[in-house]
Every structure is written in structure tokens, then in C-alpha cells.
Structure 1
């Protein structure tokens, strides 16, 4: 990530009041990798699975196709 989670929360909370259960979606702006050695990066490819787990809630898995 380019920005640390606490910096993102601080920035967003300058403009809105965050409530319990709010979600801040982050992504990668276009052009982030431009000018960098792309061979150093591991890109998602068909068959890869991305998982996230939250204790007490469960696991969300998405398979890349």
C-alpha cells in the first residue's frame, strides 16, 4: 500500500464522520507501476485465490479467473 491505514483513516475523517461498520475501499490508482521494474512484481493470474478472514465473522474468498 502507498499510504498506511492510519493515514487513510485520518484523511477520510477530515471530511466525514466515520461510523461503526463504515468501510473505506482503497485501490491502486492507474499508473502506480509506471517506470518501475515490473519483473519484480507478482501479479494475480488465473487460478489464484484471494482470501480475507475476520475472526467471529468468517472468510471471504475470491478466485481470480
Structure 2
């Protein structure tokens, strides 16, 4: 399922989101990095703010402070 900002309806839940490949970054105790899938349904009943940032070097300029 794909959702975009214009799919949102006031008073209704946001469609579920699942990222199967490298969805969540896990930082280990030795600063090692691993990844796991991520699913918004794990937060059912809770209010969260999710910030999704493109992980491509071409997107770096968009997220670098001036």
C-alpha cells in the first residue's frame, strides 16, 4: 500500500505503513549499525510523529542546514 499526504482524511486513521527493507536503523552498543523491517501497526493506539527521510546521497542537500 502506498499513501501520500493527500490521502489523509480528517477524523480518520492514517493508512498503515510497512517498510520491509531497512526500515528501522538499530545502533548497537559498539556503534555497529543493523536494520530491521518497520511496521506502523506496532504503535496501534498510540500517537506518534514519524519523520521519513530519504537515505540517498542525492537527497543530502535537501536536509543539510544552511
| TM-score clears 0.5 | no
Q: Which protein has the bigger strand share?
A: 2
- TM-score, normalized by length of structure 2? 0.24
- TM-score, normalized by length of structure 1? 0.24
Q: Which protein has the bigger helix share?
A: 2
From the CA coordinates, give the structure whose radius of gyration is larger.
1
